[in-house]
Amino acid sequence: SASSPAMLERSDSIADKMPDALKQSRYHMKRCLASFVKEGKRLMKRENLMNEIEKCIEDSLERKKIMEGLFGYILTCTQEAAVVPPFVALAARPNPGFWEYVKVNAGDLTVDEITATDYLKLKETVFDESWAKDENALEIDFGAIDFTTPRLTLPTSIGNGADYISKFISSKLGGKSDKLEPLLNYLLSLNHHGENLMINEDLNTVTKLQKSLMIAVNVVSTYPKHTPYETFSQRLKEMGFEKGWGNTSERVKETMVMLSQVLEAPDSVKLDLLFSRLPTVFNVVIFSVHGYFGQQDVLGLPDTGGQVVYILDQVRALEEELLIRINQQGLGFKPQILVVTRLIPEARGTKCDQELEAIEGTKHSHILRVPFVTEKGVLRQWVSRFDIYPYLERFTQDATSKILQRFDCKPDLIIGNYTDGNLVASLMATKLGVTQGTIAHALEKTKYEDSDAKWKDLDPKYHFSCQFTADLIAMNVTDFIITSTYQEIAGSKERPGQYESHTAFTMPGLCRVVSGIDVFDPKFNIAAPGADQSVYFPYTETQKRLTKFHPSIQELLYNEKDNQEHMGYLAEREKPIIFSMARLDTVKNITGLVEWYAKDKRLREMANLVVVAGFFDMSKSNDREEKAEIKKMHDLIEKYKLKGSFRWIAAQTDRYRNSELYRCIADKKGVFVQPALYEAFGLTVIEAMNCGLPTFATNQGGPAEIIVDGVSGFHIDPNNGDESVARIGDFFSKCGEDGLYWDTISKGGLKRIYECYTWKIYAEKLLKMGSMYGFWRQVNEDQKKAKQRYIEMFYNLQFKQLTNEVTIHEDKSLPLRLAS
């Protein structure tokens, strides 16, 4: 058949196959390439290429044949093409994480394989020719200084970094006993407030340790298995063993046997087991800088969304897990987790102006707030995450001293969140020599098309020059990276991942990043968040339902008078509700959903629409994007006469009532829709699913991985409103025909959640990373130092200069300034 040769040869490189592909239909290829170059320099995306081809090859049979052949295959891999006549350079991605670049001459159809650097230069030519020609243009190449760190090889292994590291380390530890020294040194380094744990200097050689372990196991075996550690601690101490092995003789013995076995013949299964028991983490710092970070009344404020929910749930899960482990280790220590954020004096009724706040649902965890300080003193007002860069260095210094004061020692683990928190975490971790993890939540680069190449246009508004530089620094400094999904790292067959888009990119006029991050680096780990299941539980659990909220939810949904909290009304209350909730950001596409609904007669007949998002009053918002969205929403309500079937509810901040709202919508056999143009993960998706509400979510980003289409919910294409609306409509009509269909999808969603998205699974994974990468940073120390030096230079010479371009906010508390 026509497609089989292409299939057979797919293992070859694109550059090898391109000449044959062109030969298969030289006449048409010439015409297509000529049309690509006829408009002069430009950057074309795959859709643009496809559109041109449609125009050039009019005969649809012929076109089909070509698209099914080699050329068609190459095109489906192509992400973009830089056209610089007579050349068309393709950036092709045959598999997640694998990129190839080829340059085709549109005149004579010759083909050359080119490097990422050469591709980027051609791409720059489209945007800034003189920079592209500058021989001394700044190139950033992290690959060149990191050549000893091992790499995964299979796309399917991406995201399992800790497993890989444990296999790699155990293979290194095998053989002669001197190979085991890194492990010995790691054990010797374990301590709490300077007090040794596990072993002390008496056991400073592998041989001594092995011998003593044998004797100690015999000693411990003489005690009944529930004997508390304290009973025989003195005898162990005389042999060089400190506390941390276990709380009972049974557990101590088990841990000792585990270590003996690892010392005898290391393998990754034993090493993992051992590491899950080592007392490595007690004090944790979690940075989430920009705020509003609080426990009440903050959600729905600009920039304050899932990250806050995620962190508070994470802290609860982490503390619980730490308490269990510390107890099993026989240690009486209190774990301390500090979430460090900015203190905002103008807190708008939130608690973000308080320095210290205990975290609900925990015993020992706190939020610590440290203000931004400039030459003019403390910055009083909220600052958008896009304008935050000038304050971060000083913030790190101030926060570090506060943290050290509170802990009275260094933290064992520092975790950053989002660009700003990750940068601050990197600075602090480097300074103190502490293991670090980062969590992006959402890398901004992939949210806006060509945000790198067009950075100059966007910089006044978004300061992407600072943001992408900070992201690169943090992802390269950190010991490990936590992601919520696979797609966040390496995307899908069709779409590059968020991290992957930092592999090779260019910001013409600023720097050409020829190797920014490698998605095969074993620092990447997928640990998906969950939703707090004591809050977000199925609508069917009637005895747990928070019925006290029902009157206020009735009023929120159905009261017909507009007020501060809601506008529009639902005339036909018996109809099911299409529900959505998000911050009123452009990418969340709430206005898009409203417009789809507004235009679709069938859906308006079948169901009402209710959205929770932002504010109604533009003057209440000081966020650029939010203002524009507010206006758009008002316009849509007018234009499509939505009152009567549409309810707009202002941002909601009570997660208990919100959970009950999801459930009330489920009671009436409604659905949840998450229509974002791009969603990094999408906590609302798992909240809705946890409540048993059938969910339609964007196929752009994380939700595509959370939901198995047609089984645990549905995917919708945010760029194809008609199709999305049709899918929702079809669902309702199918529910009409089949009384069990709604239930099937509801149950499918719940099943998916319980299998993959819970905080318990998350906390176990996180602690494994904390200890495994703590060990790995010691083993890989030299490489880490070399890279660190390079990064320091990048930070000082590039990043700090860029922050000078960002306006320092003045105190806006004066009414006069507020008006401007």
Q: What are the C-alpha distances in Å from 411 to residues 200, 401, 425, 709? A: 21, 12, 12, 43
Q: Minimum CB separation from ligand LCN for residue 715, in Å?
A: 16
**Which residue from 305, 496, 508, 522 is in contact with ligand UDP, where contact means CB under 6 A?**
305
Q: Which is nearer to ligand UDP, 582 or 716 (CB)?
A: 582
CA 296/CA 292 separation, integer angstroms: 10
Tell me the window of 289-297, 312-320, 493-501, 679-687 that interacts with ligand LCN (CB under 6 A): 679-687
Side chain identity at residue 246, one-letter code = G
Tell me which of 480, 539, 579, 681 binds ligand LCN, using CB under 6 A. Answer: 681
Q: How is residue 361 written in tokens?
A: 């649902």
Q: How far apart are CB 352 and ligand UDP at their closest, in Å?
A: 16
User: Under the criterion CB under 6 A, does residue 529 sit at the interface with ligand UDP?
Assistant: no
> By CB under 6 A, is residue 652 in contact with ligand UDP?
yes
Binds ligand LCN (CB under 6 A): choice among 484, 525, 621, 712? 484
Q: Does 307 bind ligand LCN (CB under 6 A)?
A: yes
Give CA–CA dist 425/737, Å, rounded. 55
Q: Does residue number 308 form part of the binding site for ligand LCN (CB under 6 A)?
A: no
Kindly state whether residue 441 participates in binding ligand LCN, applying the rule CB under 6 A: yes
Residue 382 contacts residue 291 (beta carbons within 8 Å): yes
Question: CA–CA separation, 45 vs 51, rounded Å?
Answer: 10
Output the six-digit token pair for 713: 């919910």
Interacting partner of 192 out of ligand UDP, ligand LCN, none (Cβ under 5 to 8 A depending on kind): none
Tokens 């230079």 locate to 793
Shortest distance, position 486 Cβ to ligand UDP, whole Å:
17
- The answer to the question of residue 682 lying near ligand LCN (CB under 6 A) is yes
Whether 64 contacts 57, CB under 8 Å: no
Using Cβ positions, the residue closest to ligand LCN within the complex turns out to be 306
Q: Where are the beta strands (DSSP E) in 688-770?
A: 695-698, 714-716
Sole window of 259-267, 580-588, 704-712, 775-783 interacting with ligand UDP (rule: CB under 6 A):
580-588
Instruction: Retrieve residue 651's tokens.
Output: 């941002």
User: Is residue 435 involved in binding ligand UDP (CB under 6 A)?
Assistant: no
Q: Which is nearer to ligand LCN, 74 or 528 (CB)?
A: 528
Per partner kind, with CB cut-offs from 5 to 8 A, the member of ligand UDP, ligand LCN, none near residue 484 is ligand LCN
Minimum CB separation of residue 309 from ligand LCN in Å reads 7
Identify what 612 binds: ligand LCN, ligand UDP, none; CB under 5 to 8 Å per kind.
ligand UDP
Cis amide bond preceding 302, omega within 30: no
Rule CB under 6 A: say whether 682 interacts with ligand UDP. yes
By a kind-dependent CB cut-off of 5 to 8 A, residue 647 interacts, out of ligand UDP, ligand LCN, none, with none
Report the sign of the C-alpha dihedral through residues 101, 106, 107, 108, in that order.
Answer: positive
- Convert residues 172-211 into a mask of x (bound to ligand UDP by CB under 6 A) and - (unbound): ----------------------------------------
Question: What's the gap between Cα 306 and its chain centre?
Answer: 11
Q: At 701, give phi and psi (nearest 5°).
A: 115, -150
**Which CB sits closer to ligand LCN, 441 or 727?**
441
From 165-173, 518-526, 579-587, 595-603, span contacting ligand UDP (CB under 6 A)? 579-587
Q: What tokens appear for 435 in the block?
A: 């293991």
Q: Does 300 bind ligand UDP (CB under 6 A)?
A: yes
> Any idea what DSSP says for residue 444?
G
Residue (of 425, 410, 184) closest to 282 by Cα position: 410
Residue from the set 90, 92, 258, 309 that interacts with ligand UDP by CB under 6 A: 309
Contact between 694 and 742 under an 8 Å Cβ cutoff? The reply is: yes
Sorted by sequence, the CB contacts under 8 Å of residue 96 that are 6+ apart come out as 155, 158, 490, 491, 492, 493, 496, 497, 500, 519
> Which amino acid belongs to residue 364?
H
How far is residue 275 from each of residues 165, 195, 199, 767, measured CA to CA in Å? 12, 20, 15, 9
Helix (H, G, I), strand (E, B) or coil at 369: strand
Examine residue 700 and tell whether it contacts ligand LCN (CB under 6 A).
no
Helix (H) / strand (E) element for 164: namely helix 161-173
Site residue total, ligand LCN (CB under 6 A): 12
Chain position whose Cβ is nearest to ligand UDP? 305
The answer to whether 123 touches 43, Cβ cutoff 8 Å, is yes
Q: Which of ligand UDP, ligand LCN, none sits in contact with 385, Cβ below 5 to 8 A by type?
A: none
**Contact footprint for ligand UDP (CB under 6 A):** 299-300, 305-307, 309, 581-583, 612, 651-652, 655, 658, 681-684, 687
**Contact footprint for ligand LCN (CB under 6 A):** 306-307, 310, 441-442, 484, 679-683, 702
